[in-house]
Amino acid sequence: MRYLEVQEDGSLVEAQELDLIAEKVLIIVDEDEKRMWLWKGSSCPIRKKFIGSRALSDLRKKEYGFAYIPQTCDQNDETAEFVAMVKKIGKSSLVADNVVQRAEEIIERQRKINVFEEASKAEESTQTVAVSDDETRLKDRPAQVSSSQLPTHMAKMGAPGNRPMPTILSALESDSMEIKKPEPSVEIKDNLLEKSFEVLRDLGAPKGFFRDLVIIGNKVFTETYKGAFEELDEPPEGIFFSSSHVPRMICENGFVRAIEFLKPEEGAELSEEDEQLSQDIEDLLAMFEIEVG
C-alpha cells in the first residue's frame, strides 16, 4: 500500500501512514487489489483536486498501467470500496461514522447479489414468486465487480458500467437500493448548473484563451465580460464544426461538468499552471480500450 500526497505543483510526496486531512489531496495505491484512489479533502481548492486527477493519471500510466482501476472520492462521501480498503489497513476511524455505517450496509447488500445468475433465474421459471420489497429492490441494482471477474467479452480496461463506483451517500440517499431516474425538477437542475458554474469560475479560462461557448447538459451558455454565464436561446438544428476553437472537457467524480469551446488569441499556448491541470485526450480514450484476444 502506498500513500502519496499531491502538492500544488503536481509533485507527489510519499508518506508512511494514511492521514485523511481536509486540506489534502491524496493518492492511495492498493497493489494487492490493483486499485488507485484519489481522495480529496473537503477544504481543498478545486484547482488542487484537478491537479490530483492529473497526477493520478500520470502515475497510473508511468508506473502501474491500465490494469489498475482508478477511483475518486470526496471526504465524507467515500465509496463503500474505499471504506473497505481503510478497514483492511485498520484506519476506519479516519472516515466519518455515518459513512462507515452506510458502507457496511452497501457491502452487506452487495453480498446478496449475483449479477451473473439474474438472467438465468428469470429464464428458468415464469412462475410468479412472492418476494419481499427489499429483495425486489436489490435485484434492480447490480453489484460492482472487478474486471477480472467479468466474462471475456466484457473484460474492458476501465469498462464503462463497472466504473466509476457509486458513492455511499448517493447510493443510499433513500432506504432503497432501487435505481430511480431523477425527476425533471427545476431545483435539481439549478443545483447541478450552479455546481458546474462554480467549477468553471474557479478554474478560469487558460491564459491566452477565452470561453466562447459552454455546454452543460443540454444547455448552451456564453460567458459575459463580468464572468456570468448567460443561457443562449434554443440552438438551431444542424451539424456544427469549428476549426478555430479549442474544446476542453471538464470531468469530476465520473460526471462531465462542462464542455467548453475556447477561442485562442494569436500565439496562445497553455501556461505551466494550466499544463498541470490538463490531461491528454489519449489517456481518456485509453481508459475505454477493449482488451482484444
CATH class label, 1-179: alpha beta
* Residue type at position 240: F
How far does CA 206 lie from the centroid of its chain? Answer: 23
- Contact present, 283 and 291 (Cβ < 8 Å): no
How many other C-beta atoms can be found within 10 angstroms of the C-beta atom of residue 23?
10
Would you say residue 91 has pLDDT above 80?
Answer: yes
| Residue entry with cell 500513500 | 3
Confidence band of 160 (pLDDT split at 50, 70, 90): very low
Is residue 165 very low, low, confident or very high in pLDDT (cuts 50, 70, 90)? Answer: low
* Domain residue ranges in the chain: 1-179, 186-286
Question: Which pLDDT score, from 0 to 100, does residue 293 have?
Answer: 36
Q: Is pLDDT of 240 > 60?
A: yes
DSSP code, position 280: -
Helices 80-88, 97-111: inter-axial angle, 10-degree rounding: 100
Lowest-confidence range among 41-55, 112-126, 207-221, 267-281?
Answer: 112-126
For 28, the enclosing helix (H) or strand (E) is strand 25-30
pLDDT interval class at 287 (50, 70, 90): low
C-alpha cell at 227: 464572468
The pLDDT score that the predictor gives to residue 74 is 92
Residues 6+ apart with CB under 8 A from 109: 138, 141, 177
pLDDT category of residue 151 using cuts at 50, 70 and 90: very low
